[in-house]
Structure 1
């Protein structure tokens, strides 16, 4: 069943959203002016916000429609990050040619450029060719900004933490019927981790030294513990404040379980209890 675009947002925001749509309609000139004709489709995989693809019909139907993305902020998630910082990161990255353009903001959400692309699946991330491209792109992007997977959580992080978080994400299937279930048998083995790190280190154009590879391999594994702690705490808090349909508590339990399982193996100088 179709969802009206104004039915997505808080009751205090329709006027602000209408102003954004009016501005875009004038800018583009080829879309219909009847905002009620916009088709809205929920997108899967979001755990912090609700995300919708909006199809805006053109006046000449043979040209199809324009696409927008409307992001509705999750309830209570501002406890994790500063929205103004997030928007600054969003706009900075967009100016560098990475990611979508911000088209407008309204209380409780924003409108973004829709990127016609396919989200990489867990299987895609294991493909050596795709993984190599991801590593090279991450290396180039690191020169701009380090960031865990979303603009909301962007920050200046150690390289090893960012890569560790990437490896941890490879055990998840967020677009499945059980997005909260993590399969740690899918965690990349040493050969796969080494290949990714080698590809990452080549972004400078020089052949990486073996000692640099070994050091980053070791640091990355240790930083998986920080990733488990961060997202474990995120799951606990999200379970209380966010109304998105996702089993945050079970997700959190699995992350903490991995933390306690891996800690004595990775930090042998710590007691196991």
Structure 2
């Protein structure tokens, strides 16, 4: 389906790729209409009990029901009122019903609870889809008539400024979860262990657009990954990035075009973009979130031909584009945290404080691009043998690790092994 390439990288290892919130275009290519009376009765009962209003005046057979996605993780259904039924008390006319799938593995339940807390909090702050209800085994979500951003749209100045504002609002949240920045290193450590086991197995055959298995020699990509001493490299990277003392904030950790919806008919600037997919959210270094977003300007996951992604290093935002994003971000952080920007000497404040803050975050983002490349490189290697999606995981891993080492040399030439603080 058209949305797989844009969403697959957001999925955990055993998950079927799916959007956290569904867009209009998706409904024309759903898994299929659902006619089973059991599921129709179940979803209708949930909508009736949690939404009230006109939902109590229609029958299960009148409700529009379509299955959007289904897999080992979540089952998502689109439910809507029939055309002649109009809301009476402000209730929504269409929603998404999400049923949680099987919960397996160490920490899976904890991850589900954390994701639910995060979804609820972001819903209340209007930073994500509205939460209409929580029931045993699932939740009721807002349906957003929108589409995901395209990679090239990330460089649009207006869109970039809104993304910066949204990111700043997320970073300003006080979320009731562990605030230690262990997620990034713990995840990479776990994936590193999985990778060692992965490299001892044969890669999964890749499929072409016709779903026929094709022979593809992946040895070159595998050899490229094997020739790097990634264990030692990760230790060096952690030591190198720790020098930056990047502030720890609540991060999205995957703010790329597929996870940002643009509404079809937004009334206000605030409503124009909606952030989705909070499964990687955690307390993390702000430099990683900004750097990861900048890296996404270079990767297009809607590429038609194998390996199903396109890497364009020329699309990396310029220094001017980065600073524009950073200024919008910092201004929003000040507003969100209630920091008074007034000063007896505005010019002096601009030079001493504003510019220093901008350059500091610019440096953090520059250096944390290492972590973004490394993180998604490991992700690709671990997913390669277990995913049935026709995506060039090994090629993607090679691309990200190659970008990591190239960027490392650039950073060492610019800053050296020791990163001096900005005076």
- Structure-1-length-normalised TM-score: 0.77
Q: For the residues of structure 2 that align with 1:76 and 1:251, how far apart are their CA atoms?
A: 27
Residue 258 (structure 1) aligned with residue 363 (structure 2): no
The residue aligned with 1:10 is none
Shift of 1:95: 2.2
Shift of 1:133: 1.8
Residue 54 (structure 1) aligned with residue 87 (structure 2): no
The residue aligned with 1:23 is 46
Cα pair distance change 1:258/1:162, threshold 3 Å: same
Q: Which runs of structure 2 are paired with 1:84-233 in the superposition (5 Å)?
A: 84-102=113-131, 103-104=133-134, 112-144=141-173, 145-149=250-254, 150-177=277-304, 179-203=308-332, 204-205=334-335, 206=341, 209-233=354-378
Give aligned pairs, total. Answer: 259
The answer as to whether partners of 1:32 and 1:58 remain within 8 angstroms in 2 is: no
Secondary structure of the residue that 1:213 maps to in structure 2?
helix
Q: For the residues of structure 1 that align with 2:311 and 2:97, how far apart are their CA atoms?
A: 28
Q: For the residues of structure 2 that align with 1:161 and 1:190, how far apart are their CA atoms?
A: 17
Secondary structure of the residue that 1:151 maps to in structure 2?
coil
Q: Which runs of structure 2 are paired with 1:3-82 in the superposition (5 Å)?
A: 3-5=32-34, 19-26=42-49, 27-28=51-52, 29-30=54-55, 32-34=59-61, 38-41=65-68, 54-58=78-82, 60=84, 66-68=94-96, 70=98, 82=111
Q: For the residues of structure 2 that align with 1:182 and 1:52, how far apart are their CA atoms?
A: 31
Larger mean CA deviation between 261-270 and 187-196 belongs to 261-270
Cα pair distance change 1:184/1:51, threshold 3 Å: farther
Larger mean CA deviation between 25-34 and 119-128 belongs to 25-34
The answer as to whether partners of 1:167 and 1:188 remain within 8 angstroms in 2 is: yes
The residue aligned with 2:386 is 241
Larger mean CA deviation between 87-96 and 164-173 belongs to 87-96
Cα pair distance change 1:110/1:237, threshold 3 Å: farther
Q: For the residues of structure 2 that align with 1:187 and 1:110, how far apart are their CA atoms?
A: 38
Q: Tell me which of the two structures has the higher relative contact order, counting C-alpha pairs closer than 8 angstroms and 6 or more residues apart.
A: 2
The answer as to whether partners of 2:377 and 2:400 remain within 8 angstroms in 1 is: yes
Q: For the residues of structure 2 that align with 1:196 and 1:70, how far apart are their CA atoms?
A: 34
The answer as to whether partners of 1:222 and 1:267 remain within 8 angstroms in 2 is: no
The answer as to whether partners of 2:374 and 2:404 remain within 8 angstroms in 1 is: yes
Q: For the residues of structure 2 that align with 1:104 and 1:244, how far apart are their CA atoms?
A: 31
Q: Structure 2, unaligned stretches of length 5 or more?
A: 1-28, 88-92, 174-249, 255-276, 336-340, 342-349, 418-423
Shift of 1:70: 4.6
The answer as to whether partners of 1:25 and 1:33 remain within 8 angstroms in 2 is: no
Shift of 1:236: 1.5
Please give the root-mean-square deviation of Cα atoms over the aligned residues, in Å.
3.8
The answer as to whether partners of 1:74 and 1:242 remain within 8 angstroms in 2 is: no
Q: For the residues of structure 2 that align with 1:24 and 1:242, how far apart are their CA atoms?
A: 34
The answer as to whether partners of 2:367 and 2:411 remain within 8 angstroms in 1 is: yes
Q: For the residues of structure 1 that align with 2:104 and 2:319, how far apart are their CA atoms?
A: 39
Q: For the residues of structure 1 that align with 2:384 and 2:322, how far apart are their CA atoms?
A: 32
Q: Structure 1, unaligned stretches of length 5 or more?
A: 8-13, 43-47
Secondary structure of the residue that 1:257 maps to in structure 2?
helix
Largest Rg, 1 or 2: 2
The answer as to whether partners of 1:197 and 1:217 remain within 8 angstroms in 2 is: yes
Cα pair distance change 1:35/1:78, threshold 3 Å: farther
Q: Deviations over 1:51-93 (max 9, x none)?
A: 8672534262688x62426587799898898222222211222
Runs of 4+ deviating beyond 6 Å: 14-17, 48-51, 71-81
Q: Deviations over 1:6-56 (max 9, x none)?
A: 88xxxxxx97995454121343434551389513456xxxxx978867253
